[in-house]
């Protein structure tokens, strides 16, 4: 099948194909989530256990070691590392790349549950938590809240009233509160009074748990109606807690307030948070894994504006924002890609010296770029710095096939004195095998990126796919769109003027000047090429010497996965 002849004789079909791809790409572009970097699945599962006020050596022997021994049998294990500190145990399970992290997290959870049976029987020892390491769990927004002097009231307000409003914003996964003071009902037990009444301290703890509960009471029927009965026993005030009966001695009921003082206070403040010198509380917003970072941040900002009206006494200050840095990076890349496209069109205009021919070639840039957004959307990609870098690189490669095909059409029109339609068919068909070979050669260069394992492989897979698909679309355009447009836009007279600038009668004198300059470049290149052919060994030796000289410079170049970035935020850690 002669695809060039089919394109020239069926312009409507070619135009509809272009319109369909561009429309699909434009729709997908509006739905693409925006993020700083591609999503990366890091094969790490962590186990965190809290045991307040326990020395590190006890955490190591009683908690960390049993967990390490339990998770060592998890399939696909690469390494296990741990950190034991005051009141905390953190075990990091690293897996081989390619292992299903979700299944591995389940296996680790089951192993930890078995190991927890070896833990000490202490009510202050919290249950271990197992979680996957996910870069998307990093906060995208951090707000500081001031305006309320009572830190207990401020944190309670954040926990009960403000956090639920923020979590209702689209794309929000979790809101974590820090700072302020956590409300607590403090029970100060007098050991001497307990000893006098013969009450052990565990009895006090057990009685509080027994009284502060709710239990099912069964089902009652009345006529044709059935009622569910529950015994509501939650404590509602400090007075209710103080009146809890502990035991009976000589016919007297011993209440909690007889052996302890009960007060509504706050937990010991271990974290101090200040904003612009004023004591404050803060909340950090984490987005859902598949959510758009920028849209989620805007949704949270809208909720903050409504909260400002509901709580005029509170002041919400944005302390950290990831969306602004992402938007700035994406906008700069978009601007760079646009500038690159414009410069490519200007260079094409300089060499072709014809606006019609430039339009034929330049159309391949927006068609290929916009069509690529479709594969990005259906492939689950995001609009990030890596994928946009691939598009920016592809902008210069996209026009290569179109220029080669158009130049060969020009040659057939000038040499064979053919009509534009015939030259479009014969010229495209003659050069198509070479164009396909060169395009696939460029595509093959990016295939090794798919063989990279680990975090780097996941990051640059999007880069490779974006470049390959955009170049593939440009090949399709060169085989169909270019001959179709050339058969209708390019005139025989314009082709003659391109090769003979002295015949240019255009009012644009730039084209005449560019034609003479290019002819001079052609003559200069011919003389340079003739000199190189006469001195083959000198040219070959110079090329080899230049290559060898560059080898020592390799050690002077640094190695890193991604270049360093400056988000404008600074963090200072001090150990006293």
Count structural domains, the chain: 4
Residues 461, 475, single domain; the answer is: yes
DSSP class per residue in 312-360: TT-EEEEEEEHHHHHHHHHHHHHHHHHHHHHHHHHHHHHHH--HHHHHH
Distance set, CA 517 to CA 14, 353, 510, 514, 569 (Å): 36, 11, 10, 5, 51
Which residues have CB under 8 Å from 64's CB, separation 6+?
Answer: 49, 82, 84, 89, 91
Residues 505, 406, single domain; the answer is: yes
- Residue 292 pLDDT grade (very low, low, confident, very high; cuts 50, 70, 90): confident
Task: Answer whether residue 211 is part of any domain.
Answer: yes
Most confident of 213-227, 342-356, 474-488: 474-488
Residues 124, 143, single domain; the answer is: no
The pLDDT assigned to 495 comes to 58
Task: Answer whether residue 446 is part of any domain.
Answer: yes
In the numeric block, the tokens 């394992």 are attached to 453
Distance between CA atoms of 60 and 90, rounded to whole angstroms?
A: 10
CATH number for position 140? 3.30.70.1320
The pLDDT assigned to 300 comes to 92
Distance between CA atoms of 105 and 44, rounded to whole angstroms?
A: 9
Domain assignment of residue 246, given as a range: 193-253
Of 68-77, 158-167, 509-518, the poorest mean pLDDT is in 509-518
Q: Dump pLDDT digits (tens) for 520-534.
A: 787 888 888 888 888
Q: Dump pLDDT digits (tens) for 353-369.
A: 777 778 888 888 888 88
Q: Dump pLDDT digits (tens) for 407-458.
A: 888 777 766 556 778 888 888 888 888 888 988 998 898 888 888 877 777 7
Residues 315, 361, single domain; the answer is: no
Residues 170, 205, single domain; the answer is: no
Task: Answer whether residue 565 is part of any domain.
Answer: no
**H or E element, residue 203:** helix 201-211
Distance set, CA 435 to CA 361, 405, 464, 536, 551 (Å): 15, 8, 20, 29, 34
Local structure of 134: helix, strand or coil: coil
Task: Answer whether residue 452 is part of any domain.
Answer: yes
Task: Answer whether residue 573 is part of any domain.
Answer: no
Nearest to 177 by CA among 201, 152, 199: 152
Task: Answer whether residue 379 is part of any domain.
Answer: yes
Distance between CA atoms of 281 and 506, rounded to whole angstroms?
A: 71
Q: Mean of the per-residue pLDDT values for the chain? A: 83
Residues 402, 342, single domain; the answer is: yes
Distance between CA atoms of 169 and 39, rounded to whole angstroms?
A: 22
Residues 52, 8, single domain; the answer is: no
Residues 155, 233, single domain; the answer is: no
Task: Answer whether residue 283 is part of any domain.
Answer: yes
Residues 198, 276, single domain; the answer is: no
CA atoms within 13 A on the CB side of 516: 7
Count of beta carbons in the 10 Å neighbourhood of residue 121: 5
């Amino acid at each position: 099948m002669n695809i060039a002849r089919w394109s020239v004789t069926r312009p409507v079909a070619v135009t509809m194909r272009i319109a369909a791809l561009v429309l699909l790409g434009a729709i997908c572009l509006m739905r693409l989530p925006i993020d700083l970097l591609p999503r990366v699945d890091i094969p790490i599962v962590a186990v965190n256990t809290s045991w307040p006020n326990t020395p590190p050596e006890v955490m190591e022997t009683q908690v960390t070691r049993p967990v390490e021994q339990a998770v060592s049998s998890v399939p696909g294990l690469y390494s296990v590392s741990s950190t034991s500190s005051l009141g905390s145990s953190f075990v990091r399970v690293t897996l081989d790349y390619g292992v299903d992290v979700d299944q591995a997290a389940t296996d680790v959870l089951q192993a930890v549950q078995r190991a927890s049976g070896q833990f000490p029987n202490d009510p202050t020892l919290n249950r271990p938590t197992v979680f996957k390491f996910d870069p998307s769990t990093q906060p995208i927004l951090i707000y500081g809240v001031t305006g309320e002097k009572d830190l207990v009231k401020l944190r309670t307000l954040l926990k009960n009233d403000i956090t639920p409003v923020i979590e209702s914003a689209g794309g929000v996964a979790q809101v974590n509160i820090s700072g302020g003071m956590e409300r607590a009902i403090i029970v100060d037990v007098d050991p001497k009074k307990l000893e006098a009444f013969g009450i052990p301290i565990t009895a006090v703890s057990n009685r509080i748990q027994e009284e502060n509960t709710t239990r099912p009471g069964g089902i009652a029927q009345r006529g044709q109606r059935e009622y569910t009965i529950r015994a509501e026993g939650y404590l509602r005030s400090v007075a209710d807690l103080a009146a809890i009966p502990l035991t009976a001695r000589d016919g007297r009921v011993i209440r909690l307030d007889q052996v302890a003082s009960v007060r509504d206070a706050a937990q010991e403040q271990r974290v101090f948070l200040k904003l612009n010198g004023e004591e404050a509380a803060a909340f950090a917003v984490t987005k859902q894994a598949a959510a758009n970072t920028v849209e989620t941040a805007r949704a949270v900002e809208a909720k903050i504006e409504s909260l400002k009206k509901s709580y005029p006494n509170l002041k919400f200050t944005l302390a950290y924002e990831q969306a602004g840095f992402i938007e700035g990076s994406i906008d700069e890349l978009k601007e760079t890609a646009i500038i690159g496209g414009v410069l490519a069109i200007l260079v094409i205009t300089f060499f072709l010296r014809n606006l019609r021919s430039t339009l034929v070639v330049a159309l391949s840039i927006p068609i290929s770029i916009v069509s690529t957004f479709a594969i990005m959307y259906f492939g689950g990609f995001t609009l990030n710095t890596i994928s946009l870098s691939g598009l920016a690189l592809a902008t210069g490669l996209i026009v290569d096939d179109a220029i080669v095909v158009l130049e060969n059409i020009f040659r057939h029109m000038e040499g064979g004195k053919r009509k534009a339609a015939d030259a479009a068919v014969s010229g495209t068909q003659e050069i198509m095998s070479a164009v396909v070979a060169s395009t696939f050669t460029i595509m093959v260069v990016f295939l090794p990126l798919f063989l990279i394992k680990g975090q780097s492989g996941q990051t640059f897979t999007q880069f490779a796919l974006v470049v390959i698909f955009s170049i593939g679309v440009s090949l399709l355009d060169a085989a169909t769109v270019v001959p179709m447009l050339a058969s209708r836009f390019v005139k025989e007279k314009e082709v003659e003027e391109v090769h003979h600038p002295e015949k240019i009668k255009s009012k644009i004198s730039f084209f005449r000047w560019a034609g003479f300059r290019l002819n001079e470049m052609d003559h200069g290149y011919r003389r340079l090429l003739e000199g190189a052919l006469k001195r083959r060994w000198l040219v070959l030796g110079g090329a080899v010497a230049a290559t060898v000289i560059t080898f020592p410079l390799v050690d002077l170049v640094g190695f890193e996965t991604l270049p360093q970035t400056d988000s404008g935020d600074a963090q200072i850690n001090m150990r006293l």
